[in-house]
Each structure stands twice: as structure tokens, then as C-alpha cells.
Chain A
Amino acid sequence: MSPRQRLLLAGCAAPAGVFFLAFWLLPVLRLLALPAEKGWGTYFVVLTDGRYMESMLNTVLLSVAVTLATLVIGATVGIYLARRSFFGKRLLLALLTLPLSFPGVIIGFFVILLGGRQGLVAELSSQLFGERITFAYGLLGLFLAYLYFSLPRAIATYAAAAEAMDLQLEEAARSLGASRLRIVRDVWLPELAPTTVACGAILFATSMGAFGTAFTLASKFEVVPITIYNEFTNYANFALAASLSIALGIVTWLALFLTRQFGSGQAAR
């Protein structure tokens, strides 16, 4: 490559580079340095302070549970839809993936409509048992809301992956007398493994960083994004908010990084 050409490419990348440097990289580097002003211990507050540790564990456990449930349900629905043809299938698939464009706050509101004080379940249960059942503001509400925004991505991904699956393997297994359960275990699972890993990482990362949904539900079950928001706006504790953001960023990035390593390892084999 000639120096002239190199200069040309550098010129092409410059506007985006300058913008990114000014409005992301430098501000984030400053954010990384911020906790140091309050002492080096501030960086490890998520490990040393029980309250923040609990919030982080809550978030990780919730995200793992949501990711696993979403993968199982999403795979089931995706495979079923890919294998069947029936009237209105395209419309159903469009409706099921529509929530991908909803902001998280809307999904929080949906759960309030279902399980809030004036919700559908409360109405039904008061008519049936004379008792208003609400679940929107606790762990179950949060779990269902996270499931709601995770499912569309998993369904779309698995529907596409199942379309590309090799039917002959399955036929071979069946003609050799394999049970349905064995086909799922020995044919489907290995074939869908790369999809599952990649999709799972994105689902986990999205759940870890989700803020709007938990914010709308004003949940009693505190997740890290809410903790960060409270430290920042209610207590103006910028160093602590920065430290928690870094911890959250590291966990999320690590999940994405590890699965990418796993993915390239798969490809190399």
C-alpha cells in the first residue's frame, strides 16, 4: 500500500475517529479514573460492600435464569415455527419479533398491565377467589419482563437456524430407531450449539444492562443499573456510580468475550 493510499484511508476514518474519541473514549477513560479520587478501594466496592455485592449477584443470577429460560423456550418456539407451515405463520412470526423495537419501559408497563394492582391477573383472581393477586413489583414481575424482551431475539435466531438445519441427520437417527428425546440430545443440541452460545451471550448482556424495564417496575428486587442510577441521581455519588458501571461493564464484556473465544475455537476445529 502506497503512503498516499494510506493517507487517504486515514482521512476516511478520521471524522468517525475524532467523534468517537471526543464523545466516547475520552469521557469513558475519565470515568475509569474517577473512582481513584476517592481512594483505590472504591474500585472494589462491589466486592467489599455487602449491599452492592448483593445487587450484583441479584443481577447476574436474574440474567442467567432469564437467559436459560429464554434459550429453552425460544428454541422450542423457533424450531416449531420453522418446521410448520400454517395460515398466518408469517404474521405470527412478525408479531412475536415486534417487541425487538420496543423500549424497555413499554415492557415494564406491559407487566404492570398483567400483574399490577389494576392488572389482568388481579381482576381475574378477585373474581375467582376474592383476592387480588399482584406479582408485577417483585422478582417474578422482573423475570417475566426480562423474558418478554429476550424472547423475540431468541425466537428469530432459532427460527433462522432451524431453517438451515440438516434434516438428513435427523432422518438417519430416526430410521436407526432413536427416540425423540435422543434426537433432541444427540442431533439438535450439537447442531444448534453455536447459535445457542452466540444468542445466549447477547441475551445475557442485554439483561445485565437493562435499565428501562426495572425502572418502570420500580422493583423491590434491586438490579445493578438501578443501583447505579440511584447512586448518581439520589446521592450524587459519582465515584461510586462510576465504580459500579465499570464492574457491570466488565461482567458484560467478559461474557461476550468468552463466548467469542469459544465461537472462534469452534470454527477452528
Chain B
Amino acid sequence: MRQPTHNRAPFLFAVTALTSLFMIAPMLLSVLAGLVNNYSVGIKSGFTLRWLQEVWEVYGGTVGWSLAIAAASVAATAAIGVPCAYALARSRSRLARAFEELLTLPVAVPGLATALALILAYGQIAAFRQSFAFILVGHIVFTLPFMVRTVASAFQRNDLVALEEAARTLGASFPQRFLGVLVPAVFPAIVAGALMVFTLSVGEFNLTWMLHTPLTRTLPVGLADSYASMRIEIGSAYTLVFFIVILPVLWALQALAQLMQKRYGT
């Protein structure tokens, strides 16, 4: 659809331009605010990396933990989600459909409710409550449906059923078939699911704010803390840290997913 259908559309153009301004201006503004000496004076006060340094000293730890939790969420949802997706794709029982329906509920139910439920059920176990594992569990529950759904739809392809049958008649055991034939065949879907899980986990706040403790903070939790208690330059610099650290990782993953799709996708 490269041909413009009518040449002038002033109304559409105006709305698009205004919306773009509304969406992009705050990003630029926050980047700028994190780099100037004094926000209320403006650019005239000169540029500095002082605020970034301060953020790194106070909140640097949250970056590593956020990335680690996101990576662990990807690993865990792949480990338990891929076999589950296979079972759901091959089973036609009513139980499987009901389970699939239940599994997607944590997406529909507000994160706050899930967090409350987890705290009420496991909050008494101090060693668990005070560790990053508590946040990780919340992230896995929330992201699992995305992995399962993406991979399950890939498993449903007809040629995969035939491929598996061929491997079986040739005498391959189930683990051999699963790891040697099925998983490679749906790998692009696993990568796409992993990208979704990673993105959701890194930016997750609704659950995490309830589940965190002063010693277990992720990047979005630290951000909220800095917005509430620090000067506006530090909040902006911290937002800039989020962009610098997270966006390249997301873009790299996205490029990888596209590459996989092109090379192995059908």
C-alpha cells in the first residue's frame, strides 16, 4: 500500500504531528533534564554527568538485579512453559482447555491482586519474602501465559505432527524427539516469547512494588523511589540510565528474533 490514496489530508497530518510531539517531547525532555547542572535554570547552567554518577552510586545495583530477574524469568518460563505448550497443543481434552483459560487469568487480573495474594499466602516465610526469589515468582506467574501461548500456536502446525511421527517410527525416544526435533522447529516462537517475557519483566512495576523489600529493589522500583524523594535531575538521570541499559538489550533481542524468524520461520 505505497500509493497515497488522496494527496492532502490536513486533519490527519495535524493529529499525527501533535501526537508525535506529545509522545516524543517528554522523552527528550527527560534525557535533557538528566544532563543539565540545574533543571530550573535550564541549558544555560551547562551539562554534567554528575547526576548520572550519583544515580549509579545510589541505585546502580537495581540495574543488575532487574536484568538478572528478567533473564531468570525467560529461563524459567521457557523451561516449564515450552513442555506445557506442547501438552496444550496436542491435547484436546476439556481439562486442557480449562487449564489454558486459567493460565491466562494472571494477565486479566490486575497485578496488585496477584501481589496481594502472594503476600498473604507466603509473606510469613521470611527467607522467601526477603529474597529476590519472591519477586521472580511474581514475574514468572505474570509472564508464563505469554510464553505458553506463543509457543503453543507454533506447536500446532500440521507438518510438525508428521515430523514427530516420522522421528517416532524411526525409534527416537520422547526426550530425543522433543529436544532434537520439536524444540528446534519451534525455536523462533520461543525467541519471540522470550522477548515478550524479558520486556514485561524489566518494566514490571504493579506487582513488584508490592513484592519488593528495601533490600530487594528492581529498576522500576528504584525509579519510583527516586521520583518521590530525589531532585528532578536525579529522577531524570535515572530515567536516562533505564534507556541506556534496557533499550540496547531490547533492540538486540528484537533483532535476534527477526533474524530467527527470517532464517527458520515459516
Contacts and interface: CB of A to CB of B under 8 A. Distances in A.
Interface of A: 6, 8-10, 12-13, 15-17, 19-20, 23-28, 30-31, 34, 73, 76-77, 79-85, 92, 95-96, 98-106, 108-114, 118, 120, 144, 147-148, 151-152, 155, 162-163, 165, 167, 170-171, 180, 205, 208-212, 215-216, 218, 225, 228-229, 232, 238, 241-242, 245-246, 248-249, 252-253, 256
A31 B108 contact: no
B181 interface: no
What 3 A-B pairs come out closest when comparing CB atoms? A209-B110, A110-B26, A16-B84
Contact of B227 (A10, A152, A216): A216
Contacts of B19: 73, 76-77, 96, 151, 155
Contact of A19 (B4, B120, B140): B140
A148 B22 contact: yes
Given A80-B13, A167-B5, 13 more contacts: A6-B91, A20-B141, A23-B138, A34-B120, A83-B5, A99-B23, A105-B220, A209-B110, A212-B209, A225-B110, A241-B116, A245-B116, A246-B113
Interface in B1-21: 1-2, 4-6, 9, 11-13, 15-16, 19-20
Given A24-B106, A113-B30, A246-B113, A16 B120 contact: no
B192 to A, nearest CB: 15
B81 A16 contact: yes
Interface of B: 1-2, 4-6, 9, 11-13, 15-16, 19-20, 22-27, 29-30, 33, 39-40, 79-81, 83-84, 86-88, 90-91, 96, 99, 102-103, 105-106, 108-114, 116-118, 120-122, 137-138, 140-141, 144, 148, 174, 199, 202-206, 209-210, 219-220, 223-224, 227-228, 232, 235-236, 239, 242, 246-247, 250
B1 A82 contact: yes
Contacts, number: 237
Contacts of A216: 224, 227-228
